[in-house]
Structure 1
Amino acid sequence: MSDRIREKLTILADAAKYDVSCSSSGGNRKNTNKGIGDSSSSGICHTYTEDGRCVSLLKILLTNHCIYDCAFCVSRKSNDVKRAAFTVDEVVELTMSFYRRNYIEGLFLSSGIFKNADFTMERLTRIVKKLRIEERFNGYIHLKTIPGASEELLTEAGLYADRMSINLEMPTESGLKLLAPDKSHDDVKKPLGFIQNTITQYKEEKKTGLIKSIPKFVPAGQSTQMVIGATPESDMEIMYSAAQYYNNFNLKRVYYSGYIPISYDTRMPIIGSQPPLLRENRLYQTDWLMRFYGFNVQELLNPKNPHLDTDIDPKLSWALRNMEHFPIDINTADYKMIMRIPGIGVRSAQKIVQARKFGKLRSHQLQKIGVAYNRAKHFIRCADSTYLINEPDALHIKNIILAESTSKYLKTPQNQLSLF
């Protein structure tokens, strides 16, 4: 690798680190005609598929030149940073070279916008097209959609990328206008809607069976990203926005990126050097409950409870606010209600439903199944329950759980040492 390419790689890989929507879940592109790579094979690091496999991606920008001046973005045009841009051939050569060395299993490619949207999107499309056709690369490709690009370019890009994503940037339109007045959420909704409609169209054509061969179009779906903490939205506003985009555009993921201070701006909040990681974590937990546990966003966040608790997770918080549903009989309750019990995850709930077909479940059996019994015991009844509260008190239960969690943390050897 030449010094010039190495310098570009250093600049553009560093600039790409702020985009957290780097996923590889859902890809099923197979290796055909003795091509190179396979998006469904396992890798070595960086990102994870839905089934837990670790997959490495080359994560870079095509360029960090940008015509926009978004206050929260390191690549904004007014920021005094070193600029660089890859050519189409350089990105293709880097990807293939890294893959052959077993460094990566795929590519995550984004870009600042230089000249205009179509100019940038056309180059991104040329890269993925060249990888697929000329290099016969069948590894995973996650491509950023450029707001304002033509539908023709989006259609062509979707035929070669596994997943496409476009950043919402801020959770609300008012927040976006504050920090990026030249941008609009409508610029995001239009390509999201077009790609989703095209995905549906290709699937319908495949179902009819009238056309012998239907090409894949964005087989791993779409995702988006919000910056959290740069604008004053409540947790409720953030998650209501996420729920809207999940429902309207059938997104695979919404990513929440804690705001990282890049430079001083009077419009930006003054926080420490670290992003708000605890809040980011709580938002991801809420998102998980919505996608996999059957919770409606209004149950978790509403005008009476617009903010997530910092000391307990959102599932426990919901349970403590709704103690009229508890305790639940683990041997008779339906699957959906079992999923709502703190300390019981999706797999544990499935095992419980299967195991109780052979007899009533007792506490030791729940622990073997994988239930976090010390937490769940406050909300359930099983065949040998001895821990029963006639009139459950939410605050009392919360204090018990927090005390047990703190005690368990302090008992670990590394934390005992840290106390001294």
Structure 2
Amino acid sequence: MFERIREKLEILADAAKYDVSCSSSGSNRKNTNKGLGDSEGSGICHSYTEDGRCVSLLKILLTNHCIYDCAFCVSRKSNDIKRAAFTVEEVVELTMNFYRRNYIEGLFLSSGIFKNADYTMERLVRIVKKLRIEERFNGYIHLKTIPGASEELLKEAGLYADRMSINLEMPTESGLKLLAPEKSHEDVKKPLDFIQKNIVQLKDEKSLIKSAPKFVPAGQSTQMVIGATPETDKEIMHTASNFYKDFSLKRVYYSGYIPISTDTRLPIIGSQPPLIRENRLYQTDWLMRFYGFDVQEILNDANPNLDIDIDPKLSWALRNLDQFPVDVNTADYKMILRVPGIGVGSAKKIVQARKFGRLHQDQLKKIGIAFKKARHFIRYADSPLQLRDFEASHLKGVILSESTSKYLKTPQNQLSLF
């Protein structure tokens, strides 16, 4: 019996690794009635919370059997792989045993779709309900929404899960129809919209009635596979922006396509996913959510793809040199945020520090800005009277050479680069 459970765990944990749409930030479920666990400060296996802590999670599929044949998915029905399925009781027992041994801090539970959406979703709900009520487990639970499941099951799931997510799969409807013709973006939008409306409704009730139940307190997220279909970065990020606005998502995840099939519809790329592009998309996402950028400023018809050589914030600045230099002693917070080399924390420190006097070069360095990059775009108390007037292409080269030079200080680094 133990060997069979271990074999299932190996199969279904391995199948779950392709889903990156998980994060624990935002939940504050308390430990009550002497139960086990606490979702505050707990979360995701080998991921990071907002304050930088690495946390752990039992991340598994309920089953890798699936009625769909999505070309990009390792669990598609036509793929010749080992199949397995946990029972409800097995998932509950694994979660509790792993937690008691201090292996995990929570559960991320997804599933292939077997029989139909409601049949699968009903089992996922039974698991989280059993953990919360019978086992009194108060740790973090992230539950995947099954497209096409009934609203009754979705509402019940939201009462027990901290976060729910449903994968958009491909950035555009045309891309999804190419690789997964049985699916559509509408199948994703409907549950996202339903859950979001219930989050707002129950949040309003909670403000009036303290005993009102929490509903998906850590919000919703989604995931897109990048590089399996030929969308531009503009199409990808405009889709993400729309989903943020329409459904108040906590996160959109961008997963570089990993070759797992010889299907002729899929691109031929190396064994590694396009990680640099994935990183640039995450940086753009960050600019949209925390730096006040509109997606149209970064990606538009004139610039449909991100620059691989430099980050999107620097790329935007080089295209808009007329807005620089920014005087850090007089500019507002929003404009300081747009300076390459200055992050959210540093911008706040600058605004606070200048209340006590004009800021000089040494003070800016102590604040922690990336001064070598930022100095080309700012004025400060002791800045040169005449800032060097570069063309955008020349300035890009100067910044790249300065950032590269720090890696060329040892023979070992020289060897690795050349």
Query: TM-score per shorter chain, which class?
Result: over 0.9
Q: Which residue of 1 aligns with 2:263?
A: 265
For residues 221-370 of structure 1, what are the structure 2 equivalents within 5 Å? 221-370=219-368
2:16 partner letter: A
Aligned residue-pair number: 418
2:94 partner letter: L
Q: Which residue of 2 aligns with 1:116?
A: 116
2:142 partner letter: H
Do 1:24 and 1:140's aligned partners in 2 also have CA atoms closer than 8 Å? yes
For residues 183-222 of structure 1, what are the structure 2 equivalents within 5 Å? 183-207=183-207, 209=208, 211-222=209-220
For 1:59 and 1:233, the matched residues in 2 are separated by 30
Secondary structure, in 3 states, of the residue corresponding to 2:59? strand
Secondary structure, in 3 states, of the residue corresponding to 1:142? strand
For 1:77 and 1:154, the matched residues in 2 are separated by 25
Instruction: Report the CA distance between 1:27 and its aligned residue.
Output: 1.3
Instruction: Report the CA distance between 1:49 and its aligned residue.
Output: 1.5
For residues 34-183 of structure 1, what are the structure 2 equivalents within 5 Å? 34-42=34-42, 46-183=46-183
2:235 partner letter: E
Secondary structure, in 3 states, of the residue corresponding to 1:164? strand
Secondary structure, in 3 states, of the residue corresponding to 1:201? helix
Instruction: Report the CA distance between 1:7 and its aligned residue.
Output: 0.1
Q: Deviations over 1:304-359 (max 9, x none)?
A: 00000000000000000000000111100000000000000000000000000000
Call closer, same or farther: CA 1:212–1:419 in 2, change over 3 Å. closer
Which moved further from structure 2: 381-390 or 287-296?
A: 381-390
Secondary structure, in 3 states, of the residue corresponding to 2:137? coil
For 1:413 and 1:65, the matched residues in 2 are separated by 52
For 2:386 and 2:254, the matched residues in 1 are separated by 39
- Flag structure 1 segments of 5+ consecutive residues without an equivalent: none
Do 2:23 and 2:44's aligned partners in 1 also have CA atoms closer than 8 Å? no
For 1:419 and 1:165, the matched residues in 2 are separated by 40
Secondary structure, in 3 states, of the residue corresponding to 1:227? strand
Call closer, same or farther: CA 1:82–1:417 in 2, change over 3 Å. same
Call closer, same or farther: CA 1:414–1:22 in 2, change over 3 Å. farther
Q: Deviations over 1:72-125 (max 9, x none)?
A: 000000000000000000000000000001000000000000000000000000
For 2:87 and 2:205, the matched residues in 1 are separated by 36
For 2:411 and 2:216, the matched residues in 1 are separated by 48
Call closer, same or farther: CA 1:130–1:400 in 2, change over 3 Å. same
1:380 pairs with 378, 381, 388, which one? 378
Do 1:42 and 1:53's aligned partners in 2 also have CA atoms closer than 8 Å? no
Instruction: Report the CA distance between 1:379 and its aligned residue.
Output: 0.2
1:133 partner letter: I
1:14 equivalent in alignment to 2:21: no
Instruction: Report the CA distance between 1:412 and its aligned residue.
Output: 5.3
Q: Which residue of 1 aligns with 2:24?
A: 24
Instruction: Report the CA distance between 1:42 and its aligned residue.
Output: 4.7
Do 2:42 and 2:139's aligned partners in 1 also have CA atoms closer than 8 Å? no
Q: Deviations over 1:33-62 (max 9, x none)?
A: 100000113579512112222221100000
2:322 partner letter: E
Instruction: Report the CA distance between 1:413 and its aligned residue.
Output: 6.7
Instruction: Report the CA distance between 1:389 and its aligned residue.
Output: 2.9
Instruction: Report the CA distance between 1:388 and its aligned residue.
Output: 4.1
For 1:293 and 1:44, the matched residues in 2 are separated by 26
Do 1:164 and 1:218's aligned partners in 2 also have CA atoms closer than 8 Å? yes
1:152 partner letter: E
Which moved further from structure 2: 164-173 or 395-404?
A: 395-404
Instruction: Report the CA distance between 1:387 and its aligned residue.
Output: 7.6
1:348 partner letter: S
2:383 partner letter: S
Instruction: Report the CA distance between 1:386 and its aligned residue.
Output: 2.3
Call closer, same or farther: CA 1:212–1:319 in 2, change over 3 Å. closer
Call closer, same or farther: CA 1:412–1:87 in 2, change over 3 Å. farther
- Flag structure 2 segments of 5+ consecutive residues without an equivalent: none
For 2:315 and 2:380, the matched residues in 1 are separated by 23
Call closer, same or farther: CA 1:348–1:93 in 2, change over 3 Å. same
Secondary structure, in 3 states, of the residue corresponding to 1:65? coil
For 2:133 and 2:113, the matched residues in 1 are separated by 25
Secondary structure, in 3 states, of the residue corresponding to 1:96? helix
For 1:174 and 1:418, the matched residues in 2 are separated by 41
Secondary structure, in 3 states, of the residue corresponding to 1:178? helix
Do 1:378 and 1:387's aligned partners in 2 also have CA atoms closer than 8 Å? no
Do 1:171 and 1:238's aligned partners in 2 also have CA atoms closer than 8 Å? yes
Do 2:22 and 2:44's aligned partners in 1 also have CA atoms closer than 8 Å? no
C-alpha RMSD over aligned residues = 1.4
Secondary structure, in 3 states, of the residue corresponding to 2:221? strand
For 2:256 and 2:210, the matched residues in 1 are separated by 46
1:22 partner letter: C
Secondary structure, in 3 states, of the residue corresponding to 1:411? coil
For 2:310 and 2:299, the matched residues in 1 are separated by 14
2:257 partner letter: Y
Secondary structure, in 3 states, of the residue corresponding to 1:409? coil
1:91 partner letter: V
Do 2:44 and 2:57's aligned partners in 1 also have CA atoms closer than 8 Å? no
